[in-house]
Amino acid sequence: MRNSWIRRIVGAAAFAGLATWTLTGEAANPLPEGNGTLAADIAFLQKGLSKEPQKREVPTLKAVAMLIALNAQNQMDGKDAAKMAGVRDAALAVAGAVTKKDFAAAKTAAASLSDAKPAADAKPVTLGGMHKFDLDELMSSFRKGTVGGLNLEADVKAQSKKVTDPQAAAVIAGRVALIGEYTLGLPPEGIDAAKKKQWDAWSKEMTTLAADIAKESAKADKADKVKMATGFRNLDANCNACHTAFRN
Ligand code: HEC
């Protein structure tokens, strides 16, 4: 449902603190090493842009490009900093081209993600507000795969019943953790302080719950699948709580 009353704050100020993930006092990168989300998102983007995308696929393609940019920037704290900055910049080029509906340029930029050139200047940038990325586009990625989404809503519900493949669960959780970071920076405009507090709490909780699942799945064979399913149930409750208050 689209809320006409929601006008997104796209100003950079709304995103203070997004560039490094210090908002809940955790480390800059909510995802554990070896989490497969970056590779899965690059593959999704390249496939989606291998042909002229359908209109309904476009918002999620842009969202995935922005998720890649954030994920790469979150990993700019180690020895791969220049490489990760290069991935981020290529992903931002995809997001910019998709915004302009220049799908040929988007396809070329997406292809370059497989072997991104290290950036000369590996400094964090403020991703919030870039390419007018908004909540509609961000949330579109939760929709079913059959309508161009990442199928995350259905996947979260399925995983909350039973986790069988920790690696698949790692990608679902990884995507949701990153989405939570952007959600935090995209509160509906004009809400009062009490509502804003709720928005912030649910956004941070989305990332924290999803990151905990991703951390558990990183234990591979030793991952506690029952614990992960419980994590997905808590995540589903988080989605519902925010929707009851903010989505009508
Ligand atoms: C902090 C609040 C918040 C949280 C947490 C949240 N959402 Fe949303 N969601 C919204 C709002 C607001 C909208 C309506 C956005 C719009 O105007 O399209 C929405 C829209 C959606 C849509 C519709 C997108 C479309 O394009 O039709 C889906 C699907 C969705 N959310 C799934 C989820 C799932 C799954 C989770 C949990 C993993 C979640 N959301 C967590 C606030 C939230």
Q: How do the domains of the chain map onto residue ranges? A: 31-142, 151-248
Residues near ligand 1 with C-beta < 6 Å? 2-3, 6, 135-136, 139-140, 142-143, 152-153, 156, 176, 183, 199, 202-203, 206, 235, 238-239, 242-243, 246-247
Q: Do 60 and 140 contact (CB within 8 A), yes or no? A: yes
Q: Which atom of ligand 1 is nearest to the CA of 152?
A: 35
The predicted model gives 58-81 an average pLDDT of 94
Give the ligand 1 atom nearest the CA of 210: 38
What is the predicted pLDDT for the residue at 207? Answer: 97
Write down the pLDDT at residue 121: 85
The pLDDT value recorded for residue 79 is: 86
Percent of the chain with pLDDT over 70: 89
With a cut of 90, say whether residue 22 has pLDDT above it.
Answer: no
> In the prediction, which pLDDT does 69 show?
96
Residue 3 confidence (pLDDT) above 60: no
- 154 alpha carbon – ligand 1 mean position (Å): 13
Dihedral (Cα; 95, 100, 102, 103), 10-degree rounding: 50
Asked if residues 133 and 62 have their Cβ atoms less than 8 Å apart, the reply is: yes
The pLDDT tens digits of the residues spanning 101-149 come to 999 999 999 999 999 999 998 999 999 889 999 999 999 999 999 999 9
Amino acid type, 191: I
- Contact yes or no for 246/199 (Cβ under 8 A): yes
What per-residue confidence (pLDDT) applies to 77? Answer: 84
Ligand 1 atom, smallest distance to 135 CA: 15
pLDDT at 208: 96
Please tell me the distance between residue 246's alpha carbon and the centre of ligand 1 in angstroms. 9
Q: Helix crossing, 37-48 with 103-111: angle to 10°?
A: 140
Q: Dump pLDDT digits (tens) for 78-104.
A: 889 999 999 999 999 999 999 999 999
Ligand 1 pocket mutation, candidates 23, 55, 142, criterion most atoms within 8 A of CB = 142
pLDDT of residue 13: 37
Express each pLDDT in 148-186 by its tens digit.
Answer: 999 999 999 999 999 999 999 999 999 999 999 999 999
